[in-house]
Amino acid sequence: MSTVPSAAPVIVWLRQDLRLADNPALTHAAQSGRPVVALYILDDQTPGPWALGGASRWWLHHSLSALGDALAALGCPLVLRRGRADVALRALARETGATAVVWNRCYEPHAIARDSALKADLKDEGISVDSFNAALLAEPWTVKTGSGGPYKVFTPFWRAVREGLDPGPPLPAPRKLFALPTPPDGDRLADWGLLPSRPDWAGGLRDAWTPGEAAAQRRLADFLAQAVRRYPEGRDYPARPLTSRLSPHLHFGEISPRQIWAAVDHDGDGVAEFLRELGWREFCHHLLYHFPDLPQRPLNPRFEAFAWGDDPAALAAWQRGRTGYPIVDAGMRELWATGWMHNRVRMVVGSFLVKHLLLPWTAGQAWFWDTLVDADLANNAGGWQWIAGCGADAAPYFRVFNPVLQGQKFDSGGDYVRRWVPELAGLPDSVLHQPWTADPLTLRAAGVRLGTDYPHPVVDHKAARQRALDTFGAIKGDND
């Protein structure tokens, strides 16, 4: 372990930046020549209702394990503390005699409020504080409309970001870090209980994912080498492995958008469409920063009085993948088994919840928050408000995804549905996405008993669509 015992240490507070490379706060600390205390705080109190969900906690456990190994290889142990972040950080500063704290910025409203107050308190105690951008291509407050306000439409926002963008090369990982002669005490990761108690769920997540910085870099390299060229035409087909699946790595900061931006061939096939999805991530963070109540309140105020339903049985059927619509059920079962869902299917299941069932988008947001490994407050809120038609650049109220047609168009061979709804695997393609239309002989040959092996539809599409049009149409405005 390399130590510089005579210098006061600098604390690097790690949050959603669980990587060594292109980590401005860590680089700043390493270049100071002072002992570095690398700290992660598990704070279940400050975020309130947005404390980590179950799938995110699983990911965090394995990401911290990987980061701890990487830091240890540089001679700097990762210190784990649990409790209110402001209290835990100030306590560690007193214990170690640290005179400087650095972190990379977070953009959730509770994080901004906490960090602003903490920065002032630390400075009052004579501790310097520096913060950096490690998570976005452009800070939310730097991208403005011609009138100086925030953007609410994606295309001009992304155009403005690209026109002014010069992210520079990513920072290399530090080659070594000085540490204190006696590292401060910390918690054992295993004692945090982040892993699910249900072995089947943990096993499904483990089979689908490898958290950590090295895994994120491998996933990016594989995507750019194999899939990006076919991304524009293939990204809508859930059975085809043509999406990057980088979203959880981005959320936990195992890879940065600047690293992705630098790695792609900007003139290559499929790259513009792929980077546009990175732009949507930026846009959602832009919205959350300027409209901090985005996860609770509709951006479009007309939706404040919307007549959302209250049907626990229908919500449970949607959550369990038992709606009777195979493409919807396949998506919800993929989510439960793997902590992830293909983006096209996310739109289908989201539309089904808010328009077929008329259940509030916040209920879908809450379920995704608990079950997605890439649960991100900005993306989750922005995506659900878009689906519900009440957010920025939102889907129009009259756009109601037909789950049968969506399945027939984007899973015409039935590979996706047959994987995740295996009880329907024996049905022919002609009725796979609408099994209630199959004749008794076809059902019998496939071993399917509707209402027993697989449910009847919880709603009739035609009737539900009309109900949605009537209900949403009652609040439509001139710009819808």
> What are the tens digits of pLDDT across the range 129-152?
999 999 999 999 999 999 999 999
**374 known member of a binding site:** yes
* CA 451/CA 458 separation, integer angstroms: 11
**243 known member of a binding site:** yes
Residue 359, pLDDT score: 98
Out of 58, 158, 318, 384, the active site residue is 384
Out of 50, 192, 343, 423, the active site residue is 343
Q: Is 361 a catalytic residue?
A: yes
**244 known member of a binding site:** yes
**274 known member of a binding site:** yes
Q: Give mean pLDDT, residues 76-88.
A: 97
Render pLDDT for 4-37 as a digit per residue (tens, 0 to 9): 445 899 999 999 999 999 999 999 999 999 999 9
Q: Is 308 a catalytic residue?
A: yes
**246 known member of a binding site:** yes
Residue 413, pLDDT score: 97
* CA 14/CA 296 separation, integer angstroms: 27
Q: Cite the DSSP H helix spans in 171-253.
A: 199-208, 213-226, 231-234, 247-251
Out of 280, 318, 336, 340, the active site residue is 280
- What residues contact 141, with CB distance under 8 A and at least 6 apart? 289
Of 201, 270, 273, 210, whose CA–CA distance to 245 is shortest?
A: 210
Out of 50, 133, 139, 277, the active site residue is 277
Residue 232, pLDDT score: 93
Out of 50, 192, 261, 308, the active site residue is 308
Quick check: 385 and 154 in contact, CB under 8 A?
Answer: no
Whether the pTM exceeds 0.75: the reply is yes
Residue 266, pLDDT score: 93
* CA 121/CA 116 separation, integer angstroms: 9
Q: Does position 268 have pLDDT exceeding 50, yes or no?
A: yes
Of 427, 345, 350, whose CA–CA distance to 389 is shortest?
A: 350
Out of 103, 209, 318, 361, the active site residue is 361
Q: Is 343 a catalytic residue?
A: yes
Q: Does position 479 have pLDDT exceeding 50, yes or no?
A: no
Q: Give mean pLDDT, residues 374-401.
A: 89
Domains of the chain, with CATH numbers? 10-134 (3.40.50.620), 136-169+200-290 (1.25.40.80), 301-473 (1.10.579.10)
Q: Is 402 a catalytic residue?
A: no
**118 known member of a binding site:** no
Q: Is 104 a catalytic residue?
A: no
φ/ψ of residue 82, rounded to 5: -125, 140
Q: Is 50 a catalytic residue?
A: no
